[in-house]
């Protein structure tokens, strides 16, 4: 596990990624679209393209017109689920 983390940290620091922050989440997108992995909050997330739609392996049923759009939709979903869990706990 530690070896994998070191490899991911090295890969994330590469200039081959573009950074974005969305609703408190840090996202790294590959500059080269032949690379099918981006990072969300430091975790690798694989993505793909089906026709003109992009999808994330962890959220494949919801697709977007761009990788940015797809990641934002996924993060909106995570925030909604986290908010629901917090309300249920109160």
User: Which tens digit of pLDDT belongs to each residue from 40-51?
Assistant: 999 999 999 999
Mean pLDDT computed over 8-14: 54
pLDDT the model gives residue 31 = 86
User: Which tens digit of pLDDT belongs to each residue from 13-72?
Assistant: 556 889 999 999 999 998 887 888 999 999 999 999 999 999 999 998 899 999 999 999
Q: What is the pTM for the complete model shown?
A: 0.72
Going by pLDDT thresholds of 50, 70 and 90, the confidence category of residue 84 is low
**Strand residue runs (E) in the chain:** 17-22, 25-30, 37-40, 43-50, 53-56
CA distance 56 to 47: 4
CA distance 2 to 10: 12
Fold observed for domain 2-89: protein ne1242 fold (3.30.1880)
By the 8 A CB rule, do 59 and 72 touch?
no
64 DSSP 8-state letter: B
CA distance 28 to 40: 7
């Amino acid at each position: 596990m530690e070896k994998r983390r070191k490899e991911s940290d090295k890969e994330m620091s590469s200039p081959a990624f573009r950074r974005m922050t969305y609703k408190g989440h840090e996202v790294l997108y590959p500059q080269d679209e032949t690379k099918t992995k981006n990072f969300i909050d430091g975790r690798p997330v694989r993505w793909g393209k089906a026709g003109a739609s992009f999808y994330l392996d962890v959220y494949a049923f919801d697709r977007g017109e761009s990788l940015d759009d797809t990641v934002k939709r996924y993060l909106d979903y995570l925030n909604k689920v986290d908010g629901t869990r917090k309300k249920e706990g109160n």
